[in-house]
């Protein structure tokens, strides 16, 4: 987009919300930057320049528009799709890696020096890792300021700032308001105050969103004590709730579909985990996807066209923890979804750490790699070979030999998984689809995929593989459409 400024300006002129998050518009005459869909008067072409990220706009001296709040737009779909170093870096920064490990830690994760990584990011997105993390801290601070009663010193610490002065200066520079001014404005416009100890979120996404199908997918796989579903009642949408295992402690989240956003309520043991919790909830619900592009591509195939038309905006359910999805994939080998949920529920009930404080029916965390790695396969409620594969996987993750997070090298991780005993191509693609967020992952030998496609005339694995090539680079979304078509 940024390489074609006239296309960017056309999106701004049309106030097209589909481009929110793809780029931001800096207006030289006012010193602010906006979303493409900002309802303000369209600036003259000569007065605008375009940036790939809010951080790049900050670095150029612009502040966020108070009307369209560009800092709260959906993220760019590029960072979900791209498997290169920049895409991996952007996903890790969104997860709070710079705040926890510094720029040097981020660079180590990616196999680069800090200086090389700085050059790469500035060239690609207009800002280095520190500037990108600073913009993210500002957004985290705004959420805490507006939805909690935390003292501003605690907000600064929780958002990742090194000092209260740095926090104050950043908030003023980015939002052109003091922290007290932001809180006062939010109090006047807030429909209701957050419950004590909670943080209210508005997770923006691009339309359309097949929210009912997304919640139904998660509901069918919900593990008692770890997840729960509040069904839709009297016109109120369903709510998905779950526990979270975050870098500084456990938490819980409740996610409810709303208009152009998912409404979330977080309970955190440590507010420093806000950034990671938000990023993981966004990945879980695939909120940074570009459904218009995906639907247009898949809908051009006559085989998928009726499925896409029936469920526009279908997302690929992701993960809040990569090992959880990998464990589900191994346990689910050659058994039904319901059967896998039963087995995983037993393992979670026995080996998952209890929450320090239950949140309703959420009282247990999903078992960690360390906990599963220490088990005797003979004690697990599944066939011995599959149990051995699960323990072997857990040991590889616990040892760091395999990394299952947003910033991992997808090809390298696929190869490492295939090298483990009891892990085959179907399991690897299932893990890549949800845990690694690969939009082109395709479990071609999955029984559900084969059954649904056989009913549509693709009888052999060769037929399936050949036809699926036309779905690239969105085969993961095609897989979800195919699964959703099953009775």
Looking at residue 4, its pLDDT comes to: 87
Do 320 and 218 contact (CB within 8 A), yes or no?
no
65 given a catalytic annotation: no
Identify which of 67, 60, 55, 57 has the alpha carbon closest to the alpha carbon of residue 98: 55
Query: 34, 38, 68, 281: which one is catalytic?
Result: 34
Distance CA 132, CA 56 (A): 8
**If pLDDT is split at 50, 70 and 90, which confidence band does 54 have?**
very high
pLDDT per residue as tens digits for the range 343-385? 999 999 999 999 999 999 999 999 999 999 999 999 999 999 9
Query: 99, 321, 409, 446: which one is catalytic?
Result: 446
Identify which of 248, 230, 249 has the alpha carbon closest to the alpha carbon of residue 240: 230
pLDDT per residue as tens digits for the range 6-25? 999 999 999 988 889 989 99
Residues in contact with 86: Cβ distance below 8 Å, sequence separation at least 6, in sequence order: 120, 121, 124, 125
**If pLDDT is split at 50, 70 and 90, which confidence band does 192 have?**
low
Q: What is the share, in percent, of the chain residues with pLDDT greater than 70?
A: 98
Within 10 angstroms of residue 186's Cβ, the number of other Cβ atoms is 14
Residues in contact with 243: Cβ distance below 8 Å, sequence separation at least 6, in sequence order: 226, 227, 250, 251, 252, 355, 359, 362, 363, 364, 365, 366
pLDDT per residue as tens digits for the range 158-179? 999 999 999 999 999 999 999 9
Distance CA 399, CA 409 (A): 17
Has this prediction a pTM greater than 0.85?
Answer: yes
Distance CA 82, CA 78 (A): 6
Do 330 and 393 contact (CB within 8 A), yes or no?
yes
440 given a catalytic annotation: no
Distance CA 472, CA 477 (A): 10
Distance CA 121, CA 100 (A): 19
Looking at residue 190, its pLDDT comes to: 65
**pLDDT score of 193 more than 60:** no
Distance CA 200, CA 453 (A): 42
Looking at residue 307, its pLDDT comes to: 97
**What's the sign of the alpha-carbon dihedral 146, 148, 153, 156?**
negative
451 phi and psi angles, rounded to 5 deg: -65, -45
Q: What is the share, in percent, of the chain residues with pLDDT greater than 90?
A: 88
**pLDDT score of 3 more than 80:** no
Identify which of 130, 359, 134 has the alpha carbon closest to the alpha carbon of residue 244: 359
Buried-state track 253-284, b at ≥16 Cβ within 10 A, e below 16:
bbbbbeeebbbbbbbbbebbbbbbbbbbbbbb
Radius of gyration of the chain measured on its C-alpha atoms: 22
pLDDT per residue as tens digits for the range 224-244? 999 999 998 888 899 999 999
pLDDT per residue as tens digits for the range 114-127? 999 999 999 999 99
pLDDT per residue as tens digits for the range 293-335? 999 999 999 999 999 999 999 999 999 999 999 999 999 998 9
Q: Which structure tokens are listed for 318? A: 């992701």
Do 288 and 74 contact (CB within 8 A), yes or no?
yes
Distance CA 354, CA 347 (A): 13
Once rounded to an integer, what is the mean pLDDT over residues 132-159? 93
Looking at residue 191, its pLDDT comes to: 53
Q: Which domains does the chain have, with CATH numbers?
A: 5-73 (3.40.10.10), 80-147+149-189 (1.10.10.60), 199-288 (3.30.310.20), 322-438 (1.10.340.30)
């Amino acid at each position: 987009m940024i390489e074609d400024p006239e296309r960017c300006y056309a999106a701004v002129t049309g106030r097209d919300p589909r481009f929110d998050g793809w780029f931001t518009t800096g207006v030289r005459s006012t010193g602010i930057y906006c979303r493409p869909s900002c309802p303000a008067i369209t600036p003259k072409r000569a007065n605008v320049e375009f940036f790939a990220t809010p951080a790049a706009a900050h670095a150029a001296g612009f502040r966020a528009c108070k009307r369209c709040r560009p800092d709260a737009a959906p993220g760019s779909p590029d960072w979900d799709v791209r498997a290169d170093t920049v895409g991996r870096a952007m996903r890790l920064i969104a997860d709070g890696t710079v705040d926890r490990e510094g720029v040097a830690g981020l660079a180590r994760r990616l196999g680069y020096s800090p200086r090389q990584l700085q050059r790469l990011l500035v060239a690609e997105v207009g800002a280095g890792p520190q500037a990108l993390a600073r913009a993210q801290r500002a957004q985290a601070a705004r959420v805490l300021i507006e939805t909690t009663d935390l003292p501003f010193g605690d907000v600064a610490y929780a958002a990742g700032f090194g000092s209260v002065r740095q926090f104050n200066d950043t908030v003023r520079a980015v939002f052109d308001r003091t922290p007290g001014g932001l809180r006062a404005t939010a109090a006047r416009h807030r429909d209701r105050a957050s419950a004590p100890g909670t943080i209210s979120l508005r997770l923006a996404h691009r339309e359309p969103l097949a929210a009912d199908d997304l919640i139904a997918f998660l509901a069918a796989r919900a593990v008692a004590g770890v997840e729960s579903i509040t069904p839709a009642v009297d016109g109120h949408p369903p709510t998905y709730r779950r526990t979270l295992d975050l870098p500084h402690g456990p938490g819980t989240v409740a996610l409810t579909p709303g208009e152009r956003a998912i409404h979330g309520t977080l309970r955190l043991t440590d507010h420093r985990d806000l950034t990671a919790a938000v990023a993981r909830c966004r990945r879980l619900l695939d909120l940074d996807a570009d459904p218009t592009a995906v639907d247009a591509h898949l809908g051009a195939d006559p085989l998928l066209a009726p499925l896409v038309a029936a469920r526009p905006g279908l997302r690929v359910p992701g993960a809040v923890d990569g090992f959880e999805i990998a464990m589900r994939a191994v346990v689910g080998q050659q058994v039904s979804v319901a059967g896998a949920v039963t087995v995983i529920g037993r393992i979670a009930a026995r080996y998952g750490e209890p929450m320090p404080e239950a949140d309703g029916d959420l009282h247990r965390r999903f078992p960690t790699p360390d906990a599963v790695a220490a088990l005797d396969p003979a004690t697990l409620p599944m066939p011995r070979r599959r149990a051995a594969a699960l323990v072997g996987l857990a040991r590889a993750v616990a040892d760091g030999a395999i990394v299952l997070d947003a910033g991992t090298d997808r090809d390298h991780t696929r190869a490492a998984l295939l090298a483990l005993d009891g892990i085959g191509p179907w399991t690897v693609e299932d893990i890549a689809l949800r845990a690694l967020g690969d939009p082109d992952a395709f479990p071609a030998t999955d029984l559900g995929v084969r059954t649904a496609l056989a009913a549509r005339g693709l009888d052999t694995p060769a037929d399936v593989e050949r036809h699926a090539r036309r779905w690239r680079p969105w085969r993961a979304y095609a897989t979800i459409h195919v699964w959703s078509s099953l009775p």
